[in-house]
Amino acid sequence: MSIVVVGSVAYDTVETPREKRERQLGGSASFFSIATLGRSTVRCVGVVGDDFLQDDLDLLAAHGADVSGIKRVAGKSFHWSGRYHDDMIERDTLATELGVFADFQPEIPADWKTSEYLFLANIHPSLQSHVLDEMHEPRLVALDTMNLWIETTPDELKAILARVDVLLVNDSEARLLTGKRSLAHAAAAIREMGPQRVIVKKGEHGALYFGADSVLAVPAIILDDVIDPTGAGDCFAGGFMGSLAKAGADRTSGDEVFRQAMLDGTVTASFCPEGFNVEGLLKIDEAAYEARMATLKSMMVP
Amino acid sequence: MSIVVVGSVAYDTVETPREKRERQLGGSASFFSIATLGRSTVRCVGVVGDDFLQDDLDLLAAHGADVSGIKRVAGKSFHWSGRYHDDMIERDTLATELGVFADFQPEIPADWKTSEYLFLANIHPSLQSHVLDEMHEPRLVALDTMNLWIETTPDELKAILARVDVLLVNDSEARLLTGKRSLAHAAAAIREMGPQRVIVKKGEHGALYFGADSVLAVPAIILDDVIDPTGAGDCFAGGFMGSLAKAGADRTSGDEVFRQAMLDGTVTASFCPEGFNVEGLLKIDEAAYEARMATLKSMMVP
């Protein structure tokens, strides 16, 4: 089984009340890829500039990502800069320098088009549609988006939503997309738009899964310390999709395999805020993962 | 088994984006009492003014509350007035007219002092201490408080906290009380202060239970419509304490009975926002309750 992920491969400058780190490996495709934890081959489609360090591509490759779909072109890599507030949740974006990402035209290598799984990370919905056009009937397509596209390109977003199986959004985006305050109504409205499985991410409050026949509420694992939450949503997606790919799920699978994927996404994402950028993810080993899965389940059993 | 509750019996004027309701039955002791759902005798200690309607006391009595501990004195009843924002979570307090509540000196009827359970709703911590002094070794004492007392009477609050078994607070109060951002650290710090069981209420995100040997995360039930969330926290407390009293729990009981009480508190509180003030609670019947309990459990099973 293999997953194609299309998204950003970037540098992030992150400032927290305690520390500032400049130009570290970031971007949705980077977090996603590492977060699949080797459960599936991950094929990254993205673009970087000539300032991008080979070491960073090597790091992704060392964690199982095929980076041959990341094109290197003349110019600067996508650079995001932000500052977290004391609560380590609210943040101000200080700079978004798109660089070569501004003209990103995703190209799927020919032998990747038959990949079984596709994750369309948060990019312009027309590009998401273009990528899906290129693929040969993946068995499951998941999509992330954001308020920018909901507000500025609603028609393009609705066009791609009609063609995907799973939507991952946060609670405010679900409400913005549907105009519904109740998340039950918002999820129902999203299912009308296309995706039959809706995941509402709520950060430190966990995530909700609205599936074919059931709703699941997964709490976030309670962390001792939050160093840098950047990328946690993409880590959730990577853990989630890796779990589905390993299980061989498709769009007709029952809710059970998706519920397990919610747990895997949650456990994987819980490591992310424990280090700057991808450092938290890199600390995952099997024992730590299993211990945290046991903790999560013990928090949930009614 | 019986529960003594000491708190406010009040009138609330509530304005939402859709409707305004004036001077309806409210107050922590009122919500709490009805929310025990007849699982235990509830003995209310409070004060009202000469403007308080006998019909409202009769309503409490009709729902199993012994209201003979609610003293009627000359003056105006406690009146709170607030306006909810569009999100039906944020609210502005427009007026807090303490009236006769300003000089409230709780008096516990002699034959109530041997009650097994005590719920100290959100009043001045010195009054909470006074009430506990009057009681004859209840088997379980739970306490609610708020940012006002944390900020203005920290010593008095810490004195009573050292003597109670269960603290119910919301997440921002837990952080304010302890100075800890991580709820794991906040709960540990609170346990150092006295209460061995800590419940962190998070509104639409559910509630966390930090117990002797386990942590439980209970999601909130996802509602189709929120009419008025006023009092939901007190409803949670009533459902929680009623469940414990019915089970005969005491401070040495294992976590299991407290985990069940968390579910009962959550299910009970879920009805509250579905009507103005106590109207949502009044719609509870056994079938509706059991259906919602099944929904909650199905949302939690990992």
Interchain CB distance below 8 Å, A185 and B224: yes
Give residue-wise pLDDT tens across range A228-280.
Answer: 999 999 999 999 999 999 999 999 999 999 999 999 999 999 999 999 999 99
Nearest CA-CA distance, residue B148 and chain A, Å = 21
Nearest CB partner across the interface for B217, out of A216, A226, A300: A300
Residue-level pLDDT at B56: 97
Task: Give the architecture-level CATH label for domain A2-300.
Answer: 3-Layer(aba) Sandwich (3.40)
Give residue-wise pLDDT tens across range A94-127.
Answer: 999 999 999 999 999 999 999 999 999 999 999 9
Residue-level pLDDT at B212: 81
Interchain CB distance below 8 Å, B302 and A259: yes
> Please, what is the average pLDDT of chain B?
97
Interchain CB distance below 8 Å, B222 and A214: no
Residue-level pLDDT at B281: 97
Nearest C-alpha in A relative to B208: A299
Domain range list for chain A: 2-300
Chain A and chain B share a number of CB contacts under 8 A equal to 81
As a whole number, mean pLDDT of residues A152-167 equals 98
As a whole number, mean pLDDT of residues A53-58 equals 97
Give residue-wise pLDDT tens across range B264-290.
Answer: 999 999 999 999 999 999 999 999 999
> Please, what is the average pLDDT of chain A?
97
Nearest CA-CA distance, residue B84 and chain A, Å = 14
Give residue-wise pLDDT tens across range B61-98.
Answer: 999 999 999 999 999 999 999 999 998 999 999 999 99
Model confidence at A85: pLDDT above 90: yes
**Chain B residues with CB-CB distance to A under 8 A?**
86-88, 181-185, 202, 205-206, 208, 214-219, 222-226, 259, 263, 296-302
Q: Which pTM does this prediction carry?
A: 0.95
As a whole number, mean pLDDT of residues B213-228 equals 95
Which chain B residues touch A223 with a CB distance below 8 Å? 182, 184
**Chain A residues with CB-CB distance to B under 8 A?**
86-88, 181-185, 202, 205-206, 208, 214-219, 222-226, 259, 263, 296-302
Nearest CB partner across the interface for A299, out of B181, B216, B301: B216
Which chain B residues touch A214 with a CB distance below 8 Å? 298-299
Nearest CA-CA distance, residue B223 and chain A, Å = 7
Which chain B residues touch A222 with a CB distance below 8 Å? 182-184, 208, 215
For chain A, what is the HEC assignment? CEEEEECCCEEEEEECCCCEEEEEEECHHHHHHHHCCCCCEEEEEEEECCCCCHHHHHHHHHCCEEEEEEEECCCCCCEEEEEECCCCCCEEEEEEECHHHHHCCCCCCHHHCCCCEEEECCCCHHHHHHHHHHCCCCCEEEEECCHHHHHHCHHHHHHHHCCCCEEEEEHHHHHHHHCCCCHHHHHHHHHHHCCCEEEEECHHHCEEEECCCCEEEECCCCCCCCCCCCCHHHHHHHHHHHHHHHHCCCCCCCHHHHHHHHHHHHHHHHHHHHCCCCHHHHCCCHHHHHHHHHHHHHHHCC
- Residue B132 pLDDT level (bands cut at 50, 70, 90): very high
Model confidence at A92: pLDDT above 90: yes
- Residue A302 pLDDT level (bands cut at 50, 70, 90): confident
Nearest CB partner across the interface for B222, out of A183, A218, A219: A183
Nearest CB partner across the interface for A205, out of B205, B224, B298: B205
Residue-level pLDDT at B82: 96
Give residue-wise pLDDT tens across range A200-227.
Answer: 999 999 999 999 889 999 999 999 999 9
Residue-level pLDDT at B223: 95
Interchain CB distance below 8 Å, A219 and B206: yes
Please say whether the dihedral angle defined by the alpha carbons of residues B164, B170, B176 and B179, taken in this order, is positive or negative: positive
- Which is higher by pLDDT, B133 or A213? B133
Nearest C-alpha in A relative to B218: A300
Tell me which of B90, B181, B210, B262 to substitute to probe the interface with A (most A C-beta atoms closer than 10 Å). Answer: B181
